[in-house]
Amino acid sequence: MADSVTIVEVGPRDGLQNEKAEIATVDKLALIGMLADAGLSRIEATAFVSPRWVPQMADHGAVMRGVDRRRGVIYSALVPNEKGAEAALAAGAQALAVFTAASESFCRKNTNCSIAESIARFRPVMALAERASVPVRGYLSCALDCPYEGAIAPEAVAAVTAELLALGCNEIALSDTLGRGTPERTAAMVEAALQRVPATMLAGHFHDTSGQAIANVETAWQLGLRVFDGSVGGLGGCPYALGAAGNLATERLVVHFAAKGVETGVDLARLNGIAERVAERFRPAGAASR
C-alpha cells in the first residue's frame, strides 16, 4: 500500500485570523466548502477566542454552525479555555485544539497567562471534550524560535509536549510559529519530542517566513511524522508573533508529497484553483518574503 500523509487545513483559522479587513461569514463558509470539495479531510474552521483579542474570528459561532458538512470531513475549532470549548461544542465542532507555547513570553502575549496557567485552563476543556467524545489537539507554539526570547531549547519543547500528552491531547502540533527554522534545528526539536511522545501523536505546523518549511516538513517526515498543517495560498501568520509570515501553503505540501509518491487525498488542480482565488482576494502575508 502506498504511503500516506494527513494534511490539516488551517487556512480558515490560522490564515484568516491575521486579515485586517472584515471578511464576511458567507465568504469564510464558501472557502471551507471549497477546501472540503478539494479533498481536505481535516479543516480548522475557526477559533472560539476573545473577539477583542482577534476580531476576525468573532463570527466563530456562525461559521461553525453554518458549515455545510461533507461526509468524512472533520471540522475543528481552536479554543483557549472552557468558555471557548463550550461554545465550540455547542456549535458542532467535531474536534478541538488548545494552544500553549514552549516560551513563557509568547504564551503571555498570546493568551495572557503562563504556560502552567494555560495547561490549567485546558483541564475543563479536556473534561468537556471527553464528555462529548471529541478529540483534542494541542498546539505547541514557538517550538523553534520565540519572537521575544529567541531560540528555544529542544528540551523545553519536549517538556511541554509531555505535559500536553499527560493532559490527554490525542495529537500535539509542534509549531514553528515564526517560520525561521532550519532542517537541522527541526531535527533536534522533533528528536527531543520523540523522547516523550510517539511519532503517531505528533504533527508538524510550519510557517514559511524563511522558505524552509518544506525542508522542515521533509525532516519531520523522515523522523516519522505523518500529519502536517497547511494553509491554502500560504495565508496567515499570528497576530501575537510579529514578523511571522504566511503558513506553509497547502498546495506546496501536496506537490511535495505527490513527488514522493505519498498519498494526500487532495485534488491539486482544485486546490490550486482555490489558492488563486485566495490570492486575488487576500494578499498572502508572506508573499513579499518568498
Cell of 239: 497576530
Q: Can you tell me the distance from the alpha carbon of 267 to that of 245, in angstroms, rounded to the nearest whole number?
A: 26
Cell of 187: 531535527
Q: Tell the smallest beta-carbon distance from residue 273 to ligand HMG (Å).
A: 25
Strand partners, 139: 99, 173
**277 burial type by CB count under 10 A (0-12 exposed, 13-18 middle, 19+ buried):** middle
Nearer to Mg ion among residue 128 and residue 209 (C-beta): 209
- How does strand 145-146 pair with strand 150-151? antiparallel
Q: Can you tell me the distance from the alpha carbon of 268 to that of 50, in angstroms, rounded to the nearest whole number?
A: 35
Q: Tell the smallest beta-carbon distance from residue 24 to Mg ion (Å).
A: 23
Which residues neighbour 220 within 8 Å (Cβ) at sequence distance 6 or greater? 174, 186, 190, 202, 204, 228
What x/- string results for residues 185 through 224 when contact with ligand HMG is judged by CB under 6 A? --------------------x-x-----------------
- Pick from Mg ion, ligand HMG, none: which does 15 bind, CB < 5 to 8 A by kind? none
| Residue 107 among the catalytic residues | no
Q: Tell the smallest beta-carbon distance from residue 196 to ligand HMG (Å).
A: 19
Q: Can you tell me the distance from the alpha carbon of 18 to that of 198, in angstroms, rounded to the nearest whole number?
A: 32
Subset of 1-40 contacting Mg ion (CB under 5 A)? 14
Nearer to ligand HMG among residue 61 and residue 260 (C-beta): 61
What x/- string results for residues 92 through 121 when contact with ligand HMG is judged by CB under 6 A? -------x----------xxx---------
| Near ligand HMG by CB under 6 A: residue from 122, 240, 257, 282 | 240
Q: Can you tell me the distance from the alpha carbon of 206 to that of 173, in angstroms, rounded to the nearest whole number?
A: 9
Residue 14 binds ligand HMG, judged by CB under 6 A: yes
Quick one: DSSP state of residue 146? E
Nearer to ligand HMG among residue 66 and residue 273 (C-beta): 66
Nearer to Mg ion among residue 6 and residue 70 (C-beta): 6
Residue 84 binds ligand HMG, judged by CB under 6 A: yes
- Pick from ligand HMG, Mg ion, none: which does 75 bind, CB < 5 to 8 A by kind? none
Cα torsion 122, 188, 41, 58 to 10°: value is: 40
Nearer to Mg ion among residue 58 and residue 142 (C-beta): 142
Q: Which helix (H) or strand (E) covers residue 137, if one does?
A: strand 136-141
Residue 141 binds ligand HMG, judged by CB under 6 A: yes
Q: Would you name the residues annotated as active-site residues?
A: 238
Binding site for Mg ion (CB under 5 A): 14
